[in-house]
A and B are shown apart, each in its own frame.
Chain A
Amino acid sequence: MSPIVFAESSFKHSISEGDQRYAISNPVVVRLVEPDVVLIIGHPHDQTEQWLEILVRALPNGDKKVFHAMQLGPKFRPFLGGNQ
């Protein structure tokens, strides 16, 4: 089994696990930002125009580690492109 795990650091910006899961299951953009790190951009729920940026590391054992979640900032906003 290769579960997704939410690291303590993913809650640093007070984004709940539920909001992170919603954004991951309804992503607007998914792309690799490093060879083993996936960026997900999506909404925290369906009643908002707010965007989240979520980073997930692909671990060697197959697990998926969410280590970052926060409101979309200028660093990753360019990856949203025309999808907003």
Chain B
Amino acid sequence: MNSNSDSREEQLSDPTVPLSDWPERPQGVTGDAAKELGRMLLDDAVPASAIVGALRRGAPSLGASGSESPTLRFRVPQERVVELDALSVKLHRNQSDLLREALELLLETHSEPARDSALSANSDAQVPGDPLRLRPEEARLLIQLSERIAPTTPHPLAS
């Protein structure tokens, strides 16, 4: 090892020495791609040049815009991880894929159009002519009550 390399390593290791300016410094890699690179680093069969090459190319973007794909990290109960492991094996899909799909479903469920659609479906189920816009089970209960009070007078909602 020459002294020039040693000096660069010392500068990089020193928290008080700022990093050199490198405008083309590639974006970092996260998530499964980062783990794959970690595996490659520890694999004696993979030369260092292959890792540097992969990092220069960067991880493929997951978004339509081609922008950087952030990583989410959160804690979950151990039993959920076990269930996710099992589902991953059963479906032959990696966990990141499954969690991305779960996130898509969650966001779809709570999106404005989905909520509007649910409200619309609910209004279709309401009894026609019901000025109170009751749900069917509420209308039925009201009819039963009104029939007990005035059994001879048919309730308008009963028609």
Interface residues on A, range: 35 or more
Within 8 A of A (CB), among B43-94: 44-49, 51-52, 55-56, 70-71, 73
Given A2-B47, A75-B18, CB of A30 within 8 Å of CB of B29: yes
Q: Is the CB of A27 within 8 A of B26?
A: no
- Is the CB–CB distance between A9 and B9 below 8 Å? yes
Given contacts A31-B55, A38-B55, A81-B28, contact A25 B39 (CB under 8 A): yes
The 8 Å CB contact of B38, one of A9, A27, A79, A81, is A27
In the complex, B146 has a CB within 8 A of chain A: no
- A residues with CB within 8 A of B: 1-4, 9, 12, 21, 24-40, 42, 55-59, 62-64, 67-68, 70, 73-75, 79, 81-84
4 closest cross-chain pairs (CB), A and B: A58-B48, A31-B28, A62-B47, A68-B13
